[in-house]
Structure formats: structure tokens, C-alpha cells
């Protein structure tokens, strides 16, 4: 067993599952989506992105691209949350929460693609 690959797979799958957990619930209900969960999703996605930087294969480039897309969408979701609560100084409306969850859902799709590519690469290496 290669510990480096275990850590790599752990962060990629954790990014997917944490992102799924954040997106779960009513899209416009702020009580179903927690700020700290979004923060953890962003941190784990950034760690997964850093781990993908060293891979110079074509699959590695696609993995990095999907991770960068997920990071961008999650950071945009955090910016929308921050602007809505600190700049506008209002409570989160359902429409703003729907925008935040939509951005996080886009990141979820990117994470699903990333895990799918990881599984395909693992199956190819086994043959």
C-alpha cells in the first residue's frame, strides 16, 4: 500500500463527500446549510488541489482542472455569503442561499468528475 496514494484518495473523496453534505437540504433554507461546513469544504478542496499539482500526466492535468473549477465555485459561494451578510448586512434570504448552494453544487459536479477519473485511473493501473 502506498501511503501517498491513500492520502491523495482520502482528500479527493473527502472533498466530494463534504461538498455533498453541504448541498444536502432545501436549496433556499439557510438552516440546512452551515457556514463552517462550507469553510471545511473549501479547505479540503484546496488541500486536494495542492496534492494534484505534482502529477504531470494527462489524467493529472484533468484532475487538476476539475479541482480548480471546484475551488473557484466554492470561493465564489463564500464571497456571495460574505457579501450578503457583511456588506449588505442583512440576514440570508432564500434567493441568496439558493445562489450559494447552486455554486456549491457546481463544485460538487466537478468533484464527482474528479473521483470518477480517479477510479478510472485506478482500474487502468490494476490491468
pLDDT in tens, the chain (127 residues): 788 889 999 999 999 999 999 999 999 999 999 999 999 999 999 999 999 888 888 888 999 999 999 999 999 999 999 999 988 877 888 899 999 999 999 999 999 999 999 999 889 886 6
Q: pTM above the 0.75 mark?
A: yes
Residue 83, CB-side half-sphere exposure with 13 Å CA sphere: 10
Domain ranges of the chain: 3-126
H helices of 3-127, in order, are 3-23, 35-52, 58-82, 94-126
Tell me, what's the pLDDT at 127? 66
Tell me, what's the pLDDT at 80? 95
Q: Which residues contact 76 (CB under 8 A, 6 or more apart)?
A: 103
Amino acid at each position: 500500500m502506498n501511503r501517498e496514494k491513500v492520502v491523495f484518495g482520502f482528500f479527493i473523496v473527502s472533498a466530494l463527500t463534504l461538498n455533498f453534505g453541504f448541498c444536502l437540504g432545501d436549496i433556499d433554507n439557510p438552516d440546512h446549510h452551515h457556514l463552517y461546513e462550507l469553510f471545511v469544504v473549501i479547505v479540503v478542496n484546496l488541500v486536494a488541489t495542492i496534492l494534484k499539482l505534482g502529477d504531470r500526466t494527462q489524467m493529472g492535468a484533468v484532475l487538476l482542472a476539475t479541482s480548480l473549477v471546484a475551488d473557484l465555485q466554492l470561493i465564489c459561494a463564500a464571497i456571495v455569503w460574505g457579501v450578503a451578510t457583511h456588506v449588505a448586512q442583512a440576514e440570508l434570504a432564500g434567493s441568496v442561499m439558493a445562489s450559494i448552494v447552486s455554486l456549491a453544487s457546481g463544485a460538487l459536479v466537478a468533484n464527482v468528475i474528479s473521483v470518477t477519473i480517479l477510479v478510472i485511473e485506478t482500474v487502468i493501473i490494476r490491468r
